[in-house]
Amino acid sequence: MDPDVFPNSIEYWGPPGMVYFLNVQFRWMPMQGDTNLTLALEQPGASGDAGRFADRIELQNIQARFPLPDLTGQFTYGRKWGYVRAAGALRRLNWDDTLDDAFDLSGSATGWGVNLSSNVNIGAEEQKGGCAIADLPALLAEARGAELPVVGLMCVPPAGIEAAPFFALLDKLAADHGLPGRSMGMSDDFETAIMLGATHVRVGSALFGARE
């Protein structure tokens, strides 16, 4: 999970499609610094909100089993302009038919997933990471060439100046590149961000008060 692109949310499990669950794990970090690599073997299984399907039993006498630990990893490529981060998970899931009858419903499956994240430094601020505007087309081309799903762009405008032009620029960049997601706007300017196309806003301070 990339905390730099994780929007504040009142949803307990976070926004759909983002991993926000830390399990017991054995972690190896062979590369550290701006460019870093992390690999881990994690306790298999997880937790989730089943919603209206919580009490639904699809198949009786079927018991899930995780024979192997989950394999997870992330690689961050860091440079002066910011970073690009790729992360993924691989797991093995078995299910056993415990009913002794003529039908054996036991089976297994391999699950996996990857995500790619970065930031767009629309204010060209040296103290902030993120992808420079000029480098955005090349970054998206590489991600799509590797069949990595890119679902949107995120920005935090420079402090102390009007944010609307930066929100409008991010909205245009997302539209030009066919990206539906626009993560922009915080407690002080989220209304402006929404008017200019934001799909995700950060409003923790507006909901819970300023940090002490």
Residue 49's pLDDT band, with cuts at 50, 70 and 90, is: very low
Does residue 49 form part of some domain? Answer: no
Does residue 97 form part of some domain? Answer: yes
Which comes out higher in pLDDT, residue 40 or 147? 40
pTM of full prediction above 0.85? no
Full domain range(s) for residue 73: 3-44+59-208
Does residue 54 form part of some domain? Answer: no
Does residue 53 form part of some domain? Answer: no
Q: Which two tokens stand for residue 108?
A: 């297994």
Does residue 136 form part of some domain? Answer: yes
CA distances from 154 to 129, 135, 201 (A): 12, 15, 10
- Closest by CA position to 201, among listed 180, 183, 175: 183
Residue 118 has pLDDT above 80, yes or no: no
Does residue 126 form part of some domain? Answer: yes
pLDDT at 128: 62
In CATH, what number is assigned to the domain containing residue 92? Answer: 3.20.20
Q: How many domains does the chain have?
A: 1
d(CA 153, CA 51): 29
What is the pLDDT of the chain when averaged over all its residues? Answer: 79
Does residue 10 form part of some domain? Answer: yes
Does residue 129 form part of some domain? Answer: yes
